[in-house]
Amino acid sequence: MAMSVAPVESLASLSSDLFYDILRRLDGPTLASAACSCAAFCSISKEEKLWENVCSSMWPSTNREDVKSLISSIGGFRKFYADCFPLIVNKEVTEYHWNKYLEYPEEWTEAEYYGDMDEFENISPTDFVSVVDIRYKDKPVCSKVLWGIPNANGFNGWFYNCPFRIDLLTFATRDDDSDSEVTLSVSDGLPPISSMEKERKDGKLWKELCDGLRLSWIVVNKKIKQAANLSSWSPLGGQRHWPTDKDFVIRFGSVLPAKDILPCQVVECILIMKFRVIRTEGEGVQTTLKLTELSMQLEDMEGAHVNGRNSLLILKEALSCCRSKNYSEVLESCHLYSKSAKRVKRGEDEE
Q: Is the pLDDT of residue 271 over 70?
A: yes
Q: What is the mean pLDDT of residues 135-162?
A: 85
- Looking at the structure, tell me whether residues 195 and 268 fall in a common domain: yes
- 13-66 confidence digits (pLDDT tens): 556 767 666 667 777 677 676 666 677 666 666 688 888 999 999 999 999 999
- Looking at the structure, tell me whether residues 149 and 280 fall in a common domain: yes
- Indicate the helix (H) or strand (E) that contains 338: helix 327-346
* Structural contact between residues 67 and 300, judged by C-beta atoms closer than 8 angstroms: no
74 assigned to some structural domain: yes
Q: Is the pLDDT of residue 170 over 80?
A: yes
1: confidence class by pLDDT, cuts 50, 70, 90:
very low
CA dist., res. 88 & res. 171, Å (int): 25
Phi–psi pair at 271, nearest 5 degrees: -110, 120
* Structural contact between residues 232 and 337, judged by C-beta atoms closer than 8 angstroms: no
92: confidence class by pLDDT, cuts 50, 70, 90:
confident
Q: Is the pLDDT of residue 97 over 50?
A: no
- Looking at the structure, tell me whether residues 168 and 260 fall in a common domain: yes
Residue 230: which domain range? 88-346
Domain end point (choices 85, 103, 121):
85
- Looking at the structure, tell me whether residues 317 and 190 fall in a common domain: yes
- Looking at the structure, tell me whether residues 338 and 299 fall in a common domain: yes
- Indicate the helix (H) or strand (E) that contains 267: strand 266-279
pTM, 2 dp: 0.84
At 45 the pLDDT is 64
At 22 the pLDDT is 66
92-106, 146-160, 319-333: least confident range: 92-106
- Looking at the structure, tell me whether residues 224 and 311 fall in a common domain: yes
243 assigned to some structural domain: yes
Number of domains in the chain: 2
At 157 the pLDDT is 67
Domain end point (choices 42, 70, 85):
85
At 90 the pLDDT is 85
At 237 the pLDDT is 94
141 assigned to some structural domain: yes
155 assigned to some structural domain: yes
Domain end point (choices 85, 104, 126):
85
- Looking at the structure, tell me whether residues 232 and 331 fall in a common domain: yes
- Looking at the structure, tell me whether residues 67 and 39 fall in a common domain: yes
128 assigned to some structural domain: yes
Closest CA to 211 of 199, 219, 222, 203: 203
- Looking at the structure, tell me whether residues 247 and 99 fall in a common domain: yes
At 110 the pLDDT is 47
At 51 the pLDDT is 87
62-71, 89-98, 177-186, 268-277: least confident range: 89-98
At 42 the pLDDT is 66
CA dist., res. 180 & res. 351, Å (int): 51
282 assigned to some structural domain: yes
Q: What is the mean pLDDT of residues 64-87?
A: 96
* Structural contact between residues 134 and 210, judged by C-beta atoms closer than 8 angstroms: no
Q: Is the pLDDT of residue 105 over 60?
A: no
351 assigned to some structural domain: no
Strand partners for 229: 218
- Looking at the structure, tell me whether residues 62 and 157 fall in a common domain: no
Contacts of 75 (CB under 8 A, 6+ apart): 225
Buried b (16+ CB within 10 A) or exposed e, 266-305: bbbbbbbbbbebbbbbeeeeebbbbbbebbbbbbbbeeee
Across all residues in the chain, what is the average pLDDT? Answer: 82
- Looking at the structure, tell me whether residues 143 and 46 fall in a common domain: no
- Looking at the structure, tell me whether residues 94 and 186 fall in a common domain: yes
Q: What is the mean pLDDT of residues 321-328?
A: 91
